[in-house]
Amino acid sequence: LRNALRAQLFAGATPAEALTQLNDFCVHMLRTEFATAVVLRVDLGSGQVEAACAGHLMPFLTNSVPVAVPAPIRLSAPIGVNGASYFLSTFTVDPGHGLVLYSDGLVERRGEAIDDGLDRLAMTLGGAGAVPAS
């Protein structure tokens, strides 16, 4: 799936178009497969972001405030759902702010609501906007 997605993006598809094409491939060729994904195209000079989300947890935006906030990306169905639509979201990451992507395993804990893990991550990332990437 990753290589099929890469091929679409390399050919010039927007993140939403790439997810739509990947979903069509998955529905027709891998009928029992499901996956989540978030796809972003970031202009490092301007901070402009094009994004689309297929059932994945939202990236967080960080800045100097105490709690990070979810990126403004419209959520769509996971890959593998027949007839799913994917939407292009655009936003800007301002200078000194950050964009953090993570896997669900970082916030999921057995016997705990996922919202608790998301809240914990948002608090941990709070105020981290000025921290350089590593």
88-109 in b/e form (b: 16+ CB < 10 A) is: bbeeebeeebbbbebeeeebee
pLDDT for residue 55 is more than 60: yes
Q: Distance between CA 78 and CA 38 in Å, rounded?
A: 10
pLDDT for residue 130 is more than 60: no
Q: Could you read off the pLDDT of 62-115 as tens digits, one per residue?
A: 887 778 899 999 999 999 999 999 999 999 999 888 899 999 889 889 998 988
Average pLDDT, the chain: 90
The pLDDT-based confidence of 131 (bands split at 50, 70, 90) is low
Distances 114 to 41, 42, 57, 97, 117 between C-alpha atoms, Å: 27, 27, 10, 25, 5
Q: Which residue has the tokens 């499901």?
A: 34
2-125 CATH pick, 3.40.50.2300, 3.40.50.300, 3.40.190.10, 3.60.40.10 = 3.60.40.10
In a 13 Å sphere around the CA of 77, the CA atoms on its Cβ side amount to: 13
Three-state secondary-structure class, residue 16: helix
The pLDDT-based confidence of 125 (bands split at 50, 70, 90) is confident
Q: Yes or no: say if 58 and 51 are a contact pair by the CB < 8 Å rule.
A: no
